[in-house]
Chains A and B, each alone.
Chain A
Amino acid sequence: MAGAFDFAPAIALLPFVSFLVALFAGQYLPKRGALAGIAATAGSFLLSAWVAITVAGGETYNEALYTFTAGLDAFELHLGLLIDPLTALMLLIVTLISLLVHVFSLGYMNDEGETGLPRYYAGLGLFTASMLAFVYSDNILMAFMFFELVGLCSYLLIGFHFREKAPPSAAKKAFLVTRFGDYFFLIGVVAIFVTFAGATRTPGAFAGEGSFPVLAEHALADGATEGLNTLGFEPDTWFTILGLLVLGGVMGKSAQFPLHTWLPDAMEGPTPVSALIHAATMVAAGVYLVARMYGFYALSPTALAIVALIGGFTALFAATMGVVKQELKQVLAYSTISQYGYMMLALGSGGYIAAVFHLTTHAVFKALLFLGAGSVIIAMHHEENMWEMGGLKDKMPVTYWSFLSGSLALAGIVPFAGFWSKDEVLFEALIHGFGSEGGLGTAFLLAYAMGLLAVFFTGFYTFRMVFLTFHGEPRTETARKPHGVRWNVKGPLAVLGVLAAIVGFINMAPVRQLTGAHIDFLHTWLNGPEEGGWPAELSTGLHHYEEVLHDFGLVSASYPLGGETGTLLVSAALSLGLALAGVLAARSLYAVPEPVEHTDELGSIKTLLMHNYYQDEYQVWLATGVTYPIARAADKFDQGVVDGVVNGISSVSLFTGSRVRRIQTGVVSNYAAFITIALVVLLVVFGVAGGWF
């Protein structure tokens, strides 16, 4: 009997078909391909749900389906599917967000009379398809391939309004910066294949026997390095290097410092695209990749510490920049960077569940916030500056209440989704920071401190945004008479608004700790059965990760503040208190009838923040101030020296020729004289040589 897994390829293929339909037939269709996209993503969503149910029944899937190349006398490369609980969860998220974004686009794009819609829906379809294929890739090569395609789609969609000046530039930047990260990822992929090719037939596989995380673990545990090619390094050093190389791609796509600069610019894309990119697809891809190969990262304390530090730093760093932004979408952009920093922090500090949990809740509330922002932007006739808004609360209640739900989730206010997940992230960082030995613990604690501080800023910028946009008096004519939005905008908002409020209930770890009730469903979901089952088969279960973290990652937990429950409560209270402090600070400054910018009070820090810590400046300088002059110099060298030598040789020949030909006087007597002289010379030479004289 055909089960859910037999139809799993269709999850990615359906949106791909909608891409083809929209591209080639979109202009003849009533909604320019939107309906095809909606149908496809709805189909994918249903199939994902079926897959998730099947996975819930304890079944998983890990098969090679298509041989990319058989690789005669060498390892083969293939495409295949890996479906375990993590995959199933992510498939659900991606298809759901994509479906809602498609519906929302009817309101944002079709109703607003945009041109080029077939291109838009084709892009969305391909984007969704690539992301889904990436999510259930069974090996790192396939993951890389679709990772890159995701990058292509972001390029196409960010640059959708190609007739303007800024979007093509932003699209270029997004692709180029992520390409820079992918460069390291590609080295990592190639190195992983080269390293493990001698030991297994499937060197790139993520899970199961013969997969690279398992082989690496064996190599470290039993010294089973036979067949491994570590290029002369110690295995643990080499695995750390491999992990960090792959991390390059993660940092690019997930916009982690210092490769985050493309993301704020990417706001040039249509708002539904922003929602898709930042909530569920491209940016999530990076973090998801680390989670996917967590068994590999967990082997290396160094890699873990670096991941945690990058995450913590990015969380704080981006949150501070979000504080001064004036455009609605810019605030959301920096909050996206910051939130993905939290996920990296969680992954680095051994909080696998926390990271996946935050990935889930963030997908919901960030999609909600972007779509809400889109709704506001429709209402405001494509004005994005929050200082031009105000008082929209009463005019667009559905948007307001759902946006508020998302904001509470983002700020981390109990009981909205973000509270539960962010709290868990920080809790994991805290206990592992205290529990781990030496530098690793210090790194975790440092990352924790940064993450904790960022909570305050998150609360502040989130509610600064809410108050400026929705509260107070309308500050412009447009804000007084906003454009109405239709069901296709309100519907997705309502769905996501409800989800943002409740999705945190899938893993209420603190409540479990207090009451003892088994309501940490996500934990159970990712843990699997304690004995046998898919965790034993795939080695991607939580339990396995925790063992690896403990044995090889040297991560251990301790509860400094009155046992587990006490620490949990203190940690939760701390983050909630900081979030509330941020909200209240925002309220006191901006929830007034005529708010003013307080940013000037920051003095020179404001300039620094408004310029995003000059991150763009130095990266642009690297491109135009360093690379381009080098290229010009190389060109000069090529034209002058290399080609100069070539032309020089020809010039020398021509010059010599022009001099030598002057022997040809044209006077026959001279030629005769030459002949005679030559004859005499020859005779003398032969004579001397022949001994006549």
Chain B
Amino acid sequence: MVAIAALLAVTLLGALGTFLVDDRHAAKFATAVSAVPLLGSVLMYYVYLTEYGGVGNALLAPGDIAFRQAVDWIELSGFTLQYSVGLDGVSMPLLTLTAVLTTLALVSSWTPIDERQSQFYGLMLLMEASLIGVFAALDFFLWFVFWEGVLIPMYLLIGVWGGPRRKYAAIKFFVYTNAASLVMFVGFFALVFSLGDSISTLGLPEIAQALRAGGALSPLAGISVDQLKLLAFVAMFFGFAVKVPVFPLHTWLPDAHVEAPTPVSVMLAGVLLKMGTYALLRFNFTMLSDVATGAVLAIMPVAIAAIGVFSVIYGAMLALAQRDLKRIVAYSSISSMGYVILGLVAFTPYGVGGATFQMIAHGLISGLMFMAVGVIYNETHTRMVGDMSGLADRMPWTVGIFVSAAFGYMGLPLMAGFAGELFIFLGSFGATETIGALAPLLTSVAMFGIVIVAGYLLWAMQKTLFGSYELETDYEINGAPFHDVAPLAVLLLLVIVLGVNPDLSFRMIQQAVNPILDVGGGI
């Protein structure tokens, strides 16, 4: 199947083409190009639903990989590096999410991006290609190339088109995530070397199966197998936790979000953060599931759950203290991603499945929130809560969608966020086998996030959207143009569709996720 190769090729060539197109036409050209991966991924999603009904986990049952393609790429002594791609129920929705958000983000850039358009849109497409690669790659080397490849366009997008402190934010983002990648890389290669001759490629399925089969690892440099696993787990957790981000590794996020232009924030919150949790699921929780469930070190799951829960409450409290709409949403992302960590570590069908579902749900909703804030910013040229009030009077449709999105963020039932959070709570509340006796308590504490999130979003809406119309700046505002509001409406619709019928993704997610749980070390 060359479907994924075709997606990658079209997006990459489209990116190159966009660099060459004149600035005036770049926006339309790039949007048209991005429609190809969008339609392609939606079609693949449909094919997946209909033809790959029972596909399992791509790492654990390689016979079950959809759209599989593997070609030998580089021969090394002992290893063959492959171009190896394929999808399962975890990566399929994430890939589609990437394509959907990219197209919508491109449309939402039409208004705010008014210089160096061809480079901007080219970089956006380049990022999309890398993201598709991250979610589709099944070979470590290939995956790592894409993983790092995402950073470069993101760095430039923040650093060139960002706000006043863009250089600080861009460098912080780049150094932070790159340093984390390094730690992760060391941890992973410790495992690879320890596996020695038992693997012949760097294929993720091969490594995952070797690791889960047990016995394939040999002590390395005087470190026992258990310690090695533990160290590798911690190193990889650290590396991915920065991307998620998890307290205390989160401080790059608000700066990056505040400085990044709206469409870049959409991609950052909507997809880039999910790379972290996706990788956590693929590496830490699939390959080293015995460490994750506490079979090696009993305190591990409790510690991770505590970190996740603390991130939920801490992020929400920080959001409560902010005055900048974008900072509020940025911090609340930390809060929402904390739920994902909690769900993953619960290691139950609803927990891990819910965590994966929450990645999709949060991708859609946070993208929607950032876009809505962006539309308001386009009109008012301010994001500070104190600078405006009563916007509902001037831009009713935008505000209507903003309010709906905010309620989606608060976990209103029949919207995707509720389903994700509910699944996670259902999965983690009784997860006494992994998290231990603290599971109900930790889950209850995490649930308090839904009260705090309501607190700050309602407060921000009351101050900015309602009341008598006032604006500190001298811009005259009227309703936002159609092409600004349309992406919001599309996202809102998707959020509601997934919220009413979560099984559209949740079923395939569970099919992919449950095999991880069955053979888990601790259970």
List the interface of chain A (C-beta within 8 A of B). 67-74, 141, 144-146, 148-149, 152, 155, 159, 162-165, 167-169, 171-172, 175-176, 179-180, 183, 186-187, 190-191, 193-194, 197, 229, 231-232, 623, 627-628, 630-632, 634-635, 638, 642-643, 645-646, 650
Q: Which 6 A-B pairs have the closest CB atoms?
A: A145-B413, A168-B466, A635-B321, A194-B430, A631-B320, A72-B510
Chain B 425-468 residues near chain A, CB threshold 8 A: 425-426, 429-430, 432, 437, 440, 443-444, 447-448, 450-452, 454-455, 458-459, 461-462, 465-468
Please name 19 further chain A to chain B contacts, defined as beta carbons within 8 Å, in addition to the given A69-B502, A72-B510, sorted by A numbering: A67-B503, A69-B423, A72-B514, A73-B517, A74-B349, A163-B466, A172-B462, A176-B451, A176-B458, A180-B451, A623-B455, A627-B455, A628-B321, A631-B318, A638-B314, A638-B318, A645-B248, A646-B172, A650-B172
Q: Is the CB of B467 within 8 A of A164?
A: yes
Q: In the complex where A70-B503, A148-B412, A152-B412 touch, is A162 in contact with B392 (Cβ < 8 A)?
A: yes
Q: Cβ of B318 and Cβ of A232 under 8 Å apart? A: no
Using Cβ atoms and an 8 Å threshold, which residues of chain A touch B423?
69
Query: How many Å lie between the Cα of A175 and that of B419 in the bound state?
Result: 20
Residues of B within 8 A of A146 (CB): 413
A176–B247 CA distance with the chains assembled, in angstroms: 26
B232 at the interface (CB under 8 A from A): no
Question: In the complex, what's the smallest C-beta–C-beta distance from A654 to chain B, in angstroms?
Answer: 11
The interface residues of chain B lying within 8 Å CB-to-CB of A171 are 462
Q: What are 14 A-B contacts defined by CB distance under 8 Å?
A: A67-B503, A68-B502, A144-B413, A146-B413, A162-B392, A162-B467, A164-B468, A175-B458, A190-B443, A191-B440, A194-B440, A635-B317, A642-B248, A646-B252
Shortest CB–CB separation between residue B233 and chain A, in angstroms?
A: 23
Q: Assess whether A179 is in contact with B454, with CB atoms less than 8 Å apart.
A: yes
CB distance from A289 to the nearest CB of B (A): 15
The answer to whether the Cβ of B356 comes within 8 Å of any Cβ in the partner chain is no
Give the chain B neighbours of A164 by CB distance below 8 A: 467-468
- Say if the beta carbon of B140 comes within 8 Å of chain A: no
B contact residues around A232 at 8 Å (CB): 437
* Per-residue contact bits, chain B 460-488, to A (CB 8 Å; 1 contact, 0 not): 01100111110000000000000000000
Given contacts A163-B467, A634-B314, A186 and B455 within 8 Å (CB-CB):
no
B413 engages A630 (CB within 8 Å): no
Residue of A nearest to B504 (CB): A69
Q: Provide the bound-state CA to CA distance between A646 and B245, in Å.
A: 14
Whether B466 lies near A183 (C-beta < 8 A) is no
Do the beta carbons of B448 and A183 come within 8 Å of each other? Answer: yes
**A163, B469: Cβ atoms under 8 Å?**
yes
Query: Which residues of the other chain, A, contact B448 by a CB distance below 8 angstroms?
Result: 183
Q: Is A168 touching B462 in the complex (CB atoms < 8 A)?
A: yes
Interface string of B327-366 (1 = CB under 8 A from A): 0000000000000000000001110010000000000000
**Cβ of B24 to closest chain A Cβ, rounded Å:** 36
Q: Which one of A70, A155, A176, A638 has the greatest number of beta carbons of chain B within 10 Å? A: A638
B window 368-397: CB within 8 A of A: 390, 392-393
Q: Given A72-B510, A180-B451, A183-B451, is A163 in contact with B468 using a C-beta cutoff of 8 Å?
A: yes
Taking a contact as CB atoms closer than 8 A, the residue among A70, A229, A645, A650 that contacts B430 in the complex is A229
Pick from B248, B252, B514 the residue with the most CB of A within 10 Å: B248
* Alpha-carbon gap, A352 to B410, bound state (A): 35
Q: How far is the CB of A114 from chain B (nearest CB, A)?
A: 15
Q: In B234-264, which residues have CB < 8 Å from any A CB?
A: 247-248, 250-252
By a CB distance below 8 angstroms, the chain A residues around B447 are 183, 186-187, 190
Instruction: Give chain A residues whose Cβ lies under 8 Å from the Cβ of B517.
Output: 73
Cβ-neighbour of B419 out of A69, A162, A165 (below 8 A): A69
A61 to B511, CA, bound (A): 33
When A175-B458, A176-B455 are in contact, do A71 and B413 touch as well, CB less than 8 Å?
A: no
The answer to whether residues A149 and B414 also contact, given A162-B466, A232-B437 and a CB cut-off of 8 A, is: yes
The answer to whether B507 touches A165 (Cβ under 8 A) is no
B407 is an interface residue with CB less than 8 A from chain A: yes
On whether A634 and B321 interact (CB within 8 A), knowing A183-B451, A190-B425, A190-B443, the answer reads yes
Is B176 part of the contact surface with A, judged by Cβ < 8 Å? yes
The chain A residue with its CB closest to the CB of B410 is A179
Determine how close the nearest CB of chain A comes to the CB of B399; give it in whole angstroms. Answer: 9
Neighbouring B residues of A149 by C-beta, 8 Å: 412-414
List residues of B (33-72) whose CB comes within 8 Å of A's CBs. Answer: none
A484 to chain B, nearest CB (A): 31
Task: Judge whether B466 and A73 touch: CB under 8 Å.
Answer: no
B218 interfacial by beta-carbon distance below 8 Å: no
**Contact pick for A72, options B349, B419, B455, CB 8 Å:** B349
**Is residue B174 contacting chain A, with contact meaning CB distance below 8 A?**
no
| Measured CA separation A95–B371 after assembly (Å) | 39
Distance of A23 from chain B, by nearest CB (Å):
9
Give bound CA distance, A634 to B334, whole Å: 14
Q: Which residues of A contact B393 (CB under 8 A)?
A: 163
| Known pairs A162-B392, A183-B447; A191 contacts B429 (CB<8 A) | yes
Across the interface, which residues of A come within 8 angstroms of B422, CB to CB?
141, 190
Nearest CB to that of A165 among chain B residues?
A: B467
- How many whole Å from B181's CB to the nearest CB in chain A? 17
Asked if residues B450 and A183 are in contact (CB atoms below 8 Å), the reply is yes
| B321 proximity list for chain A (CB < 8 A) | 628, 631-632, 634-635
Q: B278 within 8 Å of A by Cβ?
A: no
- A634 contacts B467, C-beta separation under 8 Å: no
Interface status of B200 (Cβ within 8 A of chain A): no
User: Would you call B83 an interface residue if the criterion is a C-beta within 8 Å of the partner chain's C-beta atoms?
Assistant: no
Measured CB to CB, the nearest residue on chain B to A144 is B413
Cβ-defined contact, B444 with A187, below 8 A = yes
Contact across chains for B413 and A642 when beta carbons are under 8 A apart: no
Contact between B467 and A73, CB atoms less than 8 A apart: no
Q: Is B209 an interface residue (CB 8 A)?
A: no
- Chain B, range 9-50, C-beta contacts under 8 Å to A: none
B350 contacts which chain A residues (CB < 8 A)?
71, 74
| Chain A CB within 10 A, most for which of B466, B469, B503 | B466
A634–B318 contact, CB under 8 A? yes
Chain B residues contacting A176 (CB-CB under 8 Å) are 451, 454-455, 458
List CB contacts (< 8 Å) of B492-522 with chain A: 502-503, 506-507, 510-511, 514, 517
**B430 contacts A71, C-beta separation under 8 Å:** no
A176 to B407, CA, bound (A): 12
B80 touches A (CB below 8 Å): no
Residues A642 and B251 in contact, CB atoms below 8 Å apart: yes
Contacts of B468 in A (CB 8 A): 163-165
B-side contacts of A155, CB under 8 Å: 458
Assembled-state Cα–Cα distance A642/B248 (Å): 7
- B413 and A148 within 8 A (CB): yes
A197 partner residues in chain B, CB cutoff 8 A: 430
The interface residues of chain B lying within 8 Å CB-to-CB of A635 are 317-318, 321-322
A630→B510 contact, CB < 8 A? no
The closest CB in chain A to the CB of B440 belongs to A231
Does B402 reach chain A (CB closer than 8 Å)?
A: no
User: Contact check: which of B172, B250, B317 meets A634 at CB < 8 Å?
Assistant: B317
Nearest residue (CB) in B for A166 is B467
Least CB distance, A512 to chain B, in whole angstroms: 43
| Cα–Cα distance between A677 and B176 once the two chains are bound (Å) | 38
Chain B residues with Cβ below 8 Å from A191 are: 429, 440
Chain B residues with CB below 8 A from A193, complex form: 426
B418 at interface by CB-CB < 8 Å:
yes
Residue in chain A with minimal CB distance to B351: A74
Asked if residues B437 and A73 are in contact (CB atoms below 8 Å), the reply is no
**A638-B251 in contact (CB<8A):** yes
Smallest beta-carbon distance B461→chain A, Å: 8
Contact across chains for A145 and B414 when beta carbons are under 8 A apart: yes
A69 near B514: Cβ-Cβ < 8 Å: no
> Which of chain B's residues has its CB closest to A630's CB?
B317
Contact of A186 with B414 in the complex, beta carbons under 8 Å: no
Residues of A within 8 A of B247 (CB): 642
Rounded to whole angstroms, the CA-CA distance of A498 and B461 in the bound complex is 43
Q: Could you tell me if B426 and A646 are in contact, using CB atoms closer than 8 angstroms?
A: no
Distance to closest chain B CB from A509 (angstroms): 39
Specify which chain B residues have a CB less than 8 angstroms from the CB of A190 in the assembled complex: 422, 425-426, 429, 443, 447
